[in-house]
Amino acid sequence: MCNTVVSTLDEMELHYKHEGELFTFSVGDDYANFPVRIIADEENELLTTIGYFPVKIPKAHLDKMYKFINDLNYKAMVGFFTIDSDDGELSFRLANNVDGGAINEGIVKTCFLQVMFRLRDTYEDIMKAMYGGEQYTFTFGNENRPCA
C-alpha cells in the first residue's frame, strides 16, 4: 500500500515526508496552506486521509463550532469533520478499507481529492460560522490575506 501512495504522490508532484506508514505534506493556494496526512495502515488494510484547516478554533467559539461541524457531518456523504477540543485543530478525515491490498493510484488520488474538496468547499462557511459572518483576515506566513 505504501508503494502505491508513493507512486501517486510522486505522479501528482507533491513534496512529502514519508515515515513508515505516515505521509505528510501541505497543499496551498492563494489564501492558505492545508496540511495533509495520509496513513497507509497495511496491517488493518485501511487508507486514511486527513486534511487540516490552517486555523484553530478559539476556545470561546468551540461550542457553536461543535454544533456547526455536527451539521456538516450530518450532510456529508463520506468522511467527517472533527475538532480537537484540546488545541482547537479542525480537520476533515476520510478512511477507506482496502481489503486484500486492493488499492491503486486512482483510489489514493480520489481519497486525497475528496478531502481537499471538502476543505476548500467548507473553509469560508466555517470561518463565517466561527465569526458570525463578519469580515475576517488571517495571517499566513508574512502576509495578510482576506478570506472573504
- Given this model, what pLDDT does residue 83 score? 93
- Is 64 in contact with 129 (CB distance < 8 Å)? yes
- Given this model, what pLDDT does residue 133 score? 64
- Given this model, what pLDDT does residue 136 score? 41
DSSP letter string, the chain: -HHHHHHHHHHTT---EEETTEEEEEEE-SS-EEEEEEEEETTTTEEEEEEEEEEE--GGGHHHHHHHHHHHHHH-SS-EEEE-TTT-EEEEEEEEE-GGG---HHHHHHHHHHHHHHHHHHHHHHHHHHHTT---EEEETTEEEE--
Stated pTM of the model? 0.81
- Given this model, what pLDDT does residue 35 score? 92
Domains present along the chain, CATH in parentheses:
2-146 (3.30.1460.10)
Which parts of the chain sit beneath pLDDT 70? 29-31, 100-101, 133-148
Query: How many CA within 13 A on the CB side of residue 46?
Result: 10
Q: Residues with Cβ < 8 Å from 138, sequence gap 6 or more?
A: 32, 54, 55, 144, 145, 147
Handedness of CA 6, 10, 12, 17 (dihedral sign): positive
- Given this model, what pLDDT does residue 70 score? 87
- Given this model, what pLDDT does residue 51 score? 94
**Interatomic CA distance for residues 135 and 16, integer angstroms:** 34
